[in-house]
Amino acid sequence: MGSLTQLIIAFVVYVTVVLVLGFISTRKASSSPEEYFLAGRALGPLVLFMALFGTNNTSFVLVGIPGLSYNLGIGVFGLNAAIVGLGIPLTFWLIGVPARALAKEYRALTPAELYAKRLGSPAVGFLLFFLFTLYTIPYMTQGVKSAALILSQSSDGQVPMWGAAMAVVITALVYTSLGGMRATAWTNVFQGLVFMVFMAAAFFFMSHSLGGLGPAMQKVKEMDPSLLVVGEGGLFAPKAWASWGMVIALTVIVFPHMLVRLMAAEDDRAVRQVVRMYPLALALIWVPAVLIGVWGAAAFPDLERSDQIFHLMTASHMPALLGSLGFLAVLAAVMSTLDAQILTLGSMVMRDVVEPMRSEKLAAGAEVWAGRIFSAAIGVLVFFLAVAWDESIFGISRKAFEGYLTLFPTMLLGVRWSRFTASGAVASLVVGNGVLVLGWMGHWPLFGFLPPFWALVMGFVAGIGVSLAMPTKR
Amino acid sequence: MHRFLAWGGFLLLIALHLDFWREQRPVLYFGWLPEEMAYRLVWMVLAWIYLMYFTRYVWREDS
């Protein structure tokens, strides 16, 4: 059987499974906006975990991290994986738990709607919507771009990038539109299993193919021992290391597509179970991701584009059938994030922009349909950006992560500090983003830290200062 | 008491994460595990134990 035929069969089987899961969720999802956008706020521990984990782990981990480890070595693990194993679960408690309770109380379906209602200000909702969208669109773009890249590479170029990107976007749009949050949560269970099992298999087969764990590592040590230690300078410089740790640990809860998953949890107990499972699951994915890059540096030195290393390693160091299916793992990781992003942005356009401007509320069914139409429009935009935008996957993700961090002070203070006001939120968001842009442009003194560190600090200062100086009645 | 321990544990983990005092050596434990990765994996196990404690005691107090 030719590799293209294998690829097509695997893709068709995969698409069939996610569409069936989407279809099964259709009946309940169509009944009300709360069912469609938040699965009736009834996600139990296991589905919630897979929905969060699948949404959290995208091609950034499967393709971007091997690419980064190819260049920077084993230090990438400590730079990213370890600290998120603690930071992400703690932010689920710090912001996710009160946000879930408040969203239920205010009957809010999106993060922006929650904070607008909490702070009694539609302006806060508009501003949050704008910033969420500004940083989510590039994040979606890198996902589609990397899935298209892998799909195209796996077919030896027979499937063009634009065709692969279109297939990815259309598939995610169809099952998301069919079943809403419930469909994306259940497909995430399937997709999460696909990429977790694949990464475990990759670790086993690749090390075996390279002569075993010992010889594989000895080869790296002989070729370039600096790949086995934390490097110097760049992201490894002490203040940059500390700043990046903060970015990657705190930014995930700010993703609207992550917070909305927590808002769909059935209770606190479900979130608590997720927190307990998270660090171990992260280690399961990140150890192989980093090692693929490090082993790849010895197996394929001098690559021009290090993002290619995942495909090269799976194609050359795994059994033919499994290796050619490496793209399915990437596809599953990308789609499990993309579907949540499509759903969340679609619901935010509906709830945070259209509804506040209408004098009459839309009927429940019409609201769900409007959400579907906005999701489709966002999918089309992301498709065109994925085809046209030429930057590395890590580069695009990094910009988005740093931008998201500017929303952290507002999202934390908004649910944990009763004196926080709408004026404080606006000040925090404007100042934080202003400082970040100035830092990126080199017009803000950084003293060795990264721009998002100062954006976070100044965002807190502005938010707290303005709230204390201009108290308002809730 | 639990909150105090939780803050202490959190600060200790952060201090252990910012380990610039540790000498970087390309040593392989068991012939295959880089020292740097071994250190981070032990740190992750400590973080997991911390989260088990946190969810068992501090979270419930907070609720």
CB A183 within 8 Å of CB A349: no
Decide if A268 touches B, using CB distance below 8 A: yes
pLDDT at A2 over 70: no
Please list the residues that pair with A135 across neighbouring strands: none
Alpha carbons within 13 angstroms on the beta-carbon side of residue A79 total 25
Please list the residues that pair with A265 across neighbouring strands: A43
Q: How far is A29 from chain B (nearest CA, A)?
A: 31
Residues of A with Cβ-Cβ distance to B62 under 8 angstroms = 93
CB A125 within 8 Å of CB A356: yes
**How high is the pLDDT of residue A474?**
54
Which residue, among A266, A249, A332, has the nearest Cα to A54 in the 3D structure? A332
What tokens appear for A380 in the block? 């089309």
pLDDT at A352 over 70: yes
pLDDT at A113 over 80: yes
**pLDDT tens digit string along A8-45?**
888 888 888 888 887 887 766 566 788 888 888 889 99
Residue B29 backbone dihedrals phi, psi, to 5 degrees: -80, 145
**pLDDT tens digit string along A83-99?**
999 999 999 999 999 99
CA A308/CA A301 separation, integer angstroms: 12
pLDDT at A271 over 60: yes
pLDDT at A397 over 80: no
Decide if A90 touches B, using CB distance below 8 A: yes
Which residue, among A386, A277, A310, A359, has the nearest Cα to A48 in the 3D structure? A277
CA A347/CA A32 separation, integer angstroms: 13
In order of start, what are the domains of chain A with their CATH numbers? 3-391 (1.20.1730.10), 406-474 (no CATH)
What tokens appear for A201 in the block? 């298999």
**How high is the pLDDT of residue A393?**
66
What's the one-letter identity of residue B17? H
**How high is the pLDDT of residue A232?**
87
* A387-A388-A390 Cα angle (round to 5): 105
CA A74/CA A230 separation, integer angstroms: 7
Give Cα A366 distance to the centre of its chain. 29
Give Cα A473 distance to the centre of its chain. 36
Note the residue count of chain A. 474
**pLDDT tens digit string along A160-196?**
888 989 988 988 888 788 778 888 888 888 888 988 9
Decide if B34 touches A, using CB distance below 8 A: yes
Please list the residues that pair with A43 across neighbouring strands: A265
Which pLDDT band holds residue A262 (cuts at 50, 70, 90)? very high
What tokens appear for A19 in the block? 């569409």
Q: What is the pTM of this model?
A: 0.90
**pLDDT tens digit string along A230-241?**
988 888 999 999
Decide if A19 touches B, using CB distance below 8 A: no
Q: Among all residues of chain A, which has the CA nearest to that of B21? A: A238
**Cβ pair B32:A229 closer than 8 A:** no
**Cβ pair B34:A272 closer than 8 A:** no
CA A249/CA A246 separation, integer angstroms: 5
Rounded to whole angstroms, what are the CA distances from A361 to A36, A109, A358?
17, 15, 7
Probe site for chain B from A69, A76, A80, A83 (most B CB atoms < 10 A): A83
Which pLDDT band holds residue A288 (cuts at 50, 70, 90)? very high
Mean pLDDT of A416-426: 96
Rounded to the nearest 5 percent, the helix, strand and coil shares of chain B are: 70, 5, 25
ipTM comes to: 0.94
B20 C-beta neighbours (distance < 10 Å), count: 11
* H or E stretch at B29: strand B28-29
CA B19/CA B5 separation, integer angstroms: 21
**How high is the pLDDT of residue A392?**
67
**How high is the pLDDT of residue A342?**
87
Q: Among all residues of chain B, which has the CA nearest to that of A275? A: B51
**How high is the pLDDT of residue A63?**
85
**How high is the pLDDT of residue A324?**
65
pLDDT at B63 over 80: no
CB A198 within 8 Å of CB A61: no
Question: Across all residues in chain A, what is the average pLDDT?
Answer: 88
CA A203/CA A285 separation, integer angstroms: 10
**Cβ pair A77:B63 closer than 8 A:** no
pLDDT at A292 over 90: yes
Query: How much of chain A, in percent, has pLDDT values that exceed 70?
Result: 97
**How high is the pLDDT of residue A378?**
87
Probe site for chain A from B48, B49, B52, B58 (most A CB atoms < 10 A): B48
Which residue, among A129, A107, A127, has the nearest Cα to A118 in the 3D structure? A107
**Cβ pair A280:B48 closer than 8 A:** yes
CA A339/CA A334 separation, integer angstroms: 9
Mean pLDDT of A339-359: 83
Which pLDDT band holds residue A270 (cuts at 50, 70, 90)? very high
Q: From its phi and psi, is residue A472 left (phi > 0), alpha (psi between -120 and 50) or beta?
A: beta
**How high is the pLDDT of residue A334?**
86
Mean pLDDT of B44-51: 96
Which pLDDT band holds residue A108 (cuts at 50, 70, 90)? very high
Please list the residues that pair with B34 across neighbouring strands: B28
CB A257 within 8 Å of CB A55: yes
**How high is the pLDDT of residue A157?**
82
Give the start-to-end residue ranges of the domains of chain B: 2-62
DSSP tag of A93: I
